[in-house]
Chains A and B, each alone.
Chain A
Amino acid sequence: MATDTQLDLWEVFIQSRNGSHHMHAGSVHASDRKMALQNARDIYTRRGEGSSIWVVPAESIVASNPDDADMFFDPADDKVYRHPTFYVMPEGAKQI
């Protein structure tokens, strides 16, 4: 197998404007934290997409296992009463 010469993988999260969530945008390769942030800036915000960036080492992310999907997610399928749909939305609240 060929040696992997790529730099470490980092996941990138972009906040598009103040107050909104940081959303996963993609990933970059970089050798250190500063480079990861700069590469993320150059790749994901050069067309004005962002006002804040987080980068996280990909190996620090703990992911759920697809094999656990039935145990993790299926029980939520039939619990409609967990949705707070019986409340009236306050006027002026845009992000709930």
Chain B
Amino acid sequence: MADTNQLKYIYSLRLADNAWILSHRLSEWCSNGPFLEEDLALTNIALDLIGRAQAFYNYAAELESKGRTADDLAYRRNERQYYNNLLVEMPNGNFADTIARQLYTSVYEYYFFMSLQNSKDETFAALAAKTLKEVKYHMVHAADWVVRLGDGTKESHEKMQQAIDNLWMYTGELFEADKTDTALAEQGLGVDNPSLHSLWEAHIHNVLEEAKLNTPSAEYMQTGGRQGIHTEHLGHMLGEMQYLQRAYPDAKW
């Protein structure tokens, strides 16, 4: 496979992994939401993410052209072969933890897909434009909740601040750029990831300020997703997500 195709394959696979893993996390809220309407809101977002994952897995499979399908990529890889950011595999925790994860992720994705829709790769550009509409809603949903909880009761304020602080160290990784990122950005095919950091931080700061919450300042950041090095949480998730395909390969409904 041509070199650029190999890079695009990795890129598409990562985007799919990020959507896929977060989708599963949100689907864990199904029937556990704080109330019926919010249960549906979270699982709706999970479904948006499944659609996105499927599109990027399909494209990755096409770029790889080794006869693997989107399902093979989603269900038949080991933990070290997943390249999602650590942030999206973080457990749901309480509702504030989930909302903090949603805020950090969706604001990042907003700027990421804004940029990717200008990609010279037509498929990336088209998928980015479609995804952007969904992400805008995810971002509004998360930001509204952060403000409601942050500027709510004493208890909701404390839990929201705790969640914002706890997940902060997983946000640095979002803006990393390895060889794949850099090469594709230079060719106008991918996003100049580090350049999004200041936009993201300003956006997050505005939301937190409106929510009467403090923006964390800790500088230590976790890393590993791009190398397939994960927290202990991903293995447990994959155990559940891949069970059927592992126990009954090629099972059909």
Cβ contacts under 8 Å, A38 to chain B: 41, 140-141, 144
Q: Is B40 an interface residue (CB 8 A)?
A: yes
| A42:B40 contact, CB within 8 angstroms | yes
Q: Is B205 an interface residue (CB 8 A)?
A: no
| A43:B141 contact, CB within 8 angstroms | no
A42 to B29, CA, bound (A): 15
A27 to B45, CA, bound (A): 21
Minimal beta-carbon separation of A28 from chain B (angstroms) = 5
Cβ contacts under 8 Å, A30 to chain B: 37
Q: Is B247 an interface residue (CB 8 A)?
A: no
| A34:B37 contact, CB within 8 angstroms | no
A28 to B140, CA, bound (A): 19
- Smallest Cβ-Cβ distance to A6: which chain B residue: B35
Q: Is B215 an interface residue (CB 8 A)?
A: no
Cβ contacts under 8 Å, A28 to chain B: 37
A81 to B35, CA, bound (A): 51
In the complex, which residues 32-71 of chain A have their Cβ closer than 8 Å to any Cβ of chain B?
32, 34-35, 38-39, 42-43, 46
- Smallest Cβ-Cβ distance to B152: which chain A residue: A31
A60 to B41, CA, bound (A): 25
Known A42-B44, A46-B44; contact A29-B144, beta-carbon cutoff 8 A = no
Q: Is B1 an interface residue (CB 8 A)?
A: no
Q: Is A89 an interface residue (CB 8 A)?
A: no
Binding site for B on A (CB under 8 A): 6-7, 28-32, 34-35, 38-39, 42-43, 46
A86 to B37, CA, bound (A): 48
Residue contacts A-B, CB under 8 angstroms, 25 given: A6-B35, A7-B35, A28-B37, A29-B35, A29-B36, A29-B37, A30-B37, A31-B148, A32-B148, A34-B144, A35-B144, A35-B148, A38-B41, A38-B140, A38-B141, A38-B144, A39-B37, A39-B38, A39-B40, A39-B41, A42-B37, A42-B40, A42-B41, A42-B44, A43-B37
A31 to B34, CA, bound (A): 13
Cβ contacts under 8 Å, A34 to chain B: 144
- Smallest Cβ-Cβ distance to A35: which chain B residue: B144
Cβ contacts under 8 Å, A31 to chain B: 148
A29 to B41, CA, bound (A): 12
A31 to B144, CA, bound (A): 12
A38 to B141, CA, bound (A): 8
- Per-residue CB contact flags for chain B residues 26-50 toward chain A (1 = under 8 Å, else 0) read 0000000001111011001000000
Minimal beta-carbon separation of B137 from chain A (angstroms) = 8
Cβ contacts under 8 Å, A6 to chain B: 35
Cβ contacts under 8 Å, B41 to chain A: 38-39, 42
Minimal beta-carbon separation of A45 from chain B (angstroms) = 10
Minimal beta-carbon separation of B102 from chain A (angstroms) = 13
